[in-house]
């Protein structure tokens, strides 16, 4: 979800030469076709190119992590630290993306100082993968955004695949405080410019329930045509807040972030299999 957005947006924000790396893609001057589990090939690329930063967007998600614990541990836990290891002693910075799912969601309003009490292989493998040192940075957040994968599992992707004749449920006791993937690109740009390191949480200052979030999706992307009913049978609060004072960045309103995302998607509609009203 995040990788393609960062690849496309970061060059528009600053004077970056951005390279992509993925498996099963067509290689080009700016894209490496590499499976990161081939650590020798990856290490060779990293050592030969002297990158300013490496942004790790790789992750084994939710159900896949629970079904494949060894894969989750390798990609979510080991791999970020492998990147840290092979760039140690260089000026290359690793920017690792983590998740609010390292927390259980029983309390909410979590800070960087709170104990990571998430349950399951996804939560625990992501918790183990977080980097916290004086050169690299872990951005702990929660993201929504358009996906290239037609089988994506993100909330926004799920919503956009619903028929306008469908009635869907919105959890009004499930709270969230994340950002769009477009906003994540802007955040990472500022993190690099401000030389932020260690663990930092990036979230909106006010949490929103999933029912209200779906209503924003509906109004901005579906002209209000979808029928969304509140559902209070599920309760969780993974909202985040940061206690760090050294990062100068204000997350825009949810409405602004989603309107910005809509504008970007319209300008890059060839990337997506979505109907935009």
Summarised one tens digit per residue, pLDDT across range 250-265 is 999 999 999 999 999 9
- Structural domain contains residue 159: no
| Mean pLDDT of the 149-158 span | 93
- The string of pLDDT tens digits covering residues 27-45 is 999 999 999 999 999 999 9
CB-based contact 277:222 (threshold 8 Å): yes
Residue 277 has pLDDT above 90, yes or no: no
Residue 123 has pLDDT above 90, yes or no: yes
pTM of the shown model: 0.96
- Structural domain contains residue 75: yes
| Mean pLDDT of the 221-233 span | 95
- Percent of the chain residues past pLDDT 90, beyond the cut: 95
What is the pLDDT at residue 269?
94
What is the pLDDT at residue 220?
97
CB-based contact 221:143 (threshold 8 Å): no
Distance between CA atoms of 73 and 165, rounded to whole angstroms? 41
Residue 164 has pLDDT above 90, yes or no: no
- How many CB atoms are closer than 10 A to CB 66? 14
| Mean pLDDT of the 141-155 span | 94
CATH number at residue 186: 3.40.50.720
- Structural domain contains residue 225: no
| Mean pLDDT of the 144-150 span | 95
What's the gap between Cα 241 and its chain centre? Answer: 16
Distance between CA atoms of 116 and 123, rounded to whole angstroms? 9
| Mean pLDDT of the 204-224 span | 97
- Structural domain contains residue 164: no
Look up residue 50 and give its two tokens.
């002297």
Q: What is the DSSP code string of 73-111? A: IIIIIIHHHHHHHHHTTSSPEEEEEEEGGGS-SSS--B-
- The alpha-helical segments, DSSP class H, found in 92-240 are 121-129, 155-160, 181-193, 210-221
Question: What is the total count of domains within the chain?
Answer: 1
- Structural domain contains residue 130: yes
Distance between CA atoms of 155 and 212, rounded to whole angstroms? 13
Residue 228 has pLDDT above 90, yes or no: yes
CB-based contact 121:74 (threshold 8 Å): no
Where does the pLDDT of residue 108 fall: very low under 50, low under 70, confident under 90, or very high at 90 and above?
very high
- Structural domain contains residue 263: yes
What is the pLDDT at residue 166?
86
Where does the pLDDT of residue 276 fall: very low under 50, low under 70, confident under 90, or very high at 90 and above?
confident
Range of the domain at 146: 2-16+52-151+178-205+238-271
CB-based contact 253:191 (threshold 8 Å): no
Where does the pLDDT of residue 151 fall: very low under 50, low under 70, confident under 90, or very high at 90 and above?
confident
Q: Are strands 174-176 and 208-209 parallel, antiparallel or unpaired?
A: antiparallel
- The HSE-up count of residue 124 (CA atoms within 13 Å, CB side) is 8
Where does the pLDDT of residue 165 fall: very low under 50, low under 70, confident under 90, or very high at 90 and above?
confident
Look up residue 275 and give its two tokens.
């109907």
Where does the pLDDT of residue 205 fall: very low under 50, low under 70, confident under 90, or very high at 90 and above?
very high
Question: Strands (DSSP E) along the chain, which ranges?
Answer: 20-22, 31-33, 53-56, 93-99, 137-141, 143-144, 167-171, 174-176, 179-180, 198-201, 208-209, 227-231, 236-237
- Structural domain contains residue 76: yes
> Which uninterrupted H or E stretch holds 266?
helix 254-267
- Structural domain contains residue 252: yes
């Amino acid at each position: 979800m995040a990788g393609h957005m960062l690849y496309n947006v970061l060059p528009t924000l600053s004077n970056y030469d951005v390279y992509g790396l993925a498996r099963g893609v067509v290689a080009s001057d700016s894209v490496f076709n590499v499976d990161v589990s081939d650590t020798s090939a990856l290490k060779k690329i990293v050592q030969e190119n002297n990158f300013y930063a490496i942004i790790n967007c790789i992750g084994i998600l939710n159900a896949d992590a629970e079904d494949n614990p060894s894969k989750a541990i390798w990609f979510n836990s080991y791999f970020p630290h492998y990147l840290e290891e092979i760039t140690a002693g260089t000026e290359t910075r690793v920017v690792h993306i983590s998740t609010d799912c390292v927390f259980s969601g029983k309390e909410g309003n979590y800070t960087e100082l709170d104990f990571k009490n998430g349950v399951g292989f996804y939560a625990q493998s992501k918790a183990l993968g977080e980097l916290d040192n004086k050169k690299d940075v872990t951005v702990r957040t929660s993201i929504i955004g358009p996906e290239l994968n037609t089988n994506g599992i993100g909330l926004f992707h799920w919503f956009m695949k619903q028929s306008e004749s469908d009635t869907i449920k919105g959890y009004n006791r499930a709270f969230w405080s994340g950002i769009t993937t477009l906003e994540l690109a802007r955040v990472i740009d500022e993190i690099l410019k401000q030389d932020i390191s260690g663990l930092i949480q990036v979230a909106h200052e006010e949490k929103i329930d999933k029912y209200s979030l779906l209503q924003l999706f509906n109004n901005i992307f579906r002209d209000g045509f979808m029928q969304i009913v509140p559902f209070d049978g599920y309760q969780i609060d993974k909202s985040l807040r940061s206690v760090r004072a050294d990062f100068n960045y204000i997350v825009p309103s949810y409405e602004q972030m989603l309107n910005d995302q809509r504008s970007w998607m319209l300008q890059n509609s060839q990337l997506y299999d979505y109907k935009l009203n």
